[in-house]
Structure 1
Amino acid sequence: MVTFSDGSTIAYTYGADGTKLKTVHKTGSTTTTTDYCGNVVYENGVQKLLLTDEGYVTLSDGKYHYYLQDHQGNNRVVINQSGTVEETNHYYPFGGVFASTNNVQPYKYNGKEFDGKKGLNWYDYGARHYDAALGKFTTVDPLAEKYFNTGLYAYCGNNPINRIDPDGLLLARILIYKVL
């Protein structure tokens, strides 16, 4: 749970396998509950999004939205089923957003869910949260004893150009193929 100086809170609930099940944002008298059930996202008990490999469907109107991603899985552009650009994002190497238009959906850097409520600005990597402003995870790597040669809070071995961190546990090299 994250508690802010004004009494606002953000609570996260995870299953035993590390899957996020629920997020509860309390700000003043307003509470927003987001439930995750497979690839369906509910907000305050109402089905909101159906997540797909290519993007998502807004369930209120049944419209498809597609991600255009770069080699790191960053969602750079979101287009609707008509081909109209709905959102663009430009990132610093460690995931900070330096330019964005029309914030229409929460999945951004490396395709991870961005939580910007109350200025938190963290990405949810599953095993732990990531703060792009610091270029570090917010908690110690659960596998820290296995990988003693890397920093406990390090993001992708401090090399975000050539590596990604798929789930907050192990970094992965980005494979770039050259066509001959």
Structure 2
Amino acid sequence: MPATNKAVLYSDANKGITNIAYNHLNLPVQVDINNNTDNGTISYIYDAAGMKLRKIAVDNNTSITTTTDYAGNYIYENGSLKMFFHPEGYFDITGTPPSGELEGAYVYQYKDHLGNIRLSYSDSDGNGVISAQAEIVEENNYYPFGLKHKGYNNIVSANANSVASKFKYNGIELEESLGLNLYEMDLRQYDPAIARWTGIDPVTHYSQST
């Protein structure tokens, strides 16, 4: 994984990342990917403080472009509001009728002491009882450094919100488009497969730096 004197990741042959361009905050603004199965780019737009405002994933193989906009707790995909967070989980938006009122369901989440999302569920039939077979939206278990267990916790409801299900370890979004598979932390990206960051801590000159 070569890097320059800025101590950030610029390419990764394992993932097929051919180049990563960064802004003045060392945040990625464009990731170019070309491997055996994926070919495309992921671009990011931030505000002046480095908060992510928009992400554009372009898959050259399928000619599909997915644009995700972040407006505080509200997340839009391709111009449509998909979900918004609430203190106990998120509201899954399934549609907007002519009246303008949102349709959807409240999804509640169990998190561990690190903020990792372990279980998402919704009382879709409103009977006050959660059915493990029908109302568990998603289950997640993790290795110590964030890689998700596979092979036994494969509960993912067919009705799961495709945007909300990206948020997993530490409650952070995992970007899997084009095989990137990196957590988009606030100040840098993180690879759970190798437990390594793609750049140095931007506050390394502080005594409390991690």
With normalisation by structure 1, the TM-score equals 0.77
The structure whose Rg is larger is: 2
Gaps of 5+ in 2: 1-29, 95-102, 125-129
Gaps of 5+ in 1: 148-168, 172-180
**1:42 alignment counterpart:** 76
- 1:19-60 Cα offsets, whole Å, 9 max, x none, are 210110000111000001121100000111111221111122
Distance 1:19 1:94 in 2: 24
- Relative to structure 1, the CA distance from residue 124 to residue 12 in structure 2 (aligned partners, 3 Å threshold; closer, same or farther) is same
**1:151 alignment counterpart:** none
What is the CA-CA distance between 1:7 and the residue it aligns to? 4.3
Q: 1:80 aligns with which of 122, 130, 153?
A: 122
**1:94 alignment counterpart:** 145
Root mean square deviation of aligned Cα: 1.8
The alignment partner of 1:62 has SS state of strand
Q: Hey, which bits of structure 1, 4+ residues long, moved more than 6 A?
A: none
Distance 2:31 2:171 in 1: 23
**1:135 alignment counterpart:** 195
**2:104 alignment counterpart:** 62
What is the CA-CA distance between 1:146 and the residue it aligns to? 2.8
Q: Write the letter of the residue equivalent to 1:3.
A: D
With normalisation by structure 2, the TM-score equals 0.67
**Structure with greater contact order relative to length (CA < 8 Å, sep ≥ 6):** 2
Q: Write the letter of the residue equivalent to 1:27.
A: D
- Assess if the C-alpha contact under 8 Å between 2:39 and 2:178 holds in 1: no
Question: For this pair of structures, how many residues does the alignment match?
Answer: 150
Distance 1:18 1:8 in 2: 24
Identity of aligned residues (%): 39
- Assess if the C-alpha contact under 8 Å between 2:45 and 2:53 holds in 1: yes
**1:23 alignment counterpart:** 55
**2:19 alignment counterpart:** none
Distance 1:125 1:118 in 2: 18
Distance 1:18 1:66 in 2: 29
The alignment partner of 1:118 has SS state of helix
- Assess if the C-alpha contact under 8 Å between 2:41 and 2:57 holds in 1: yes
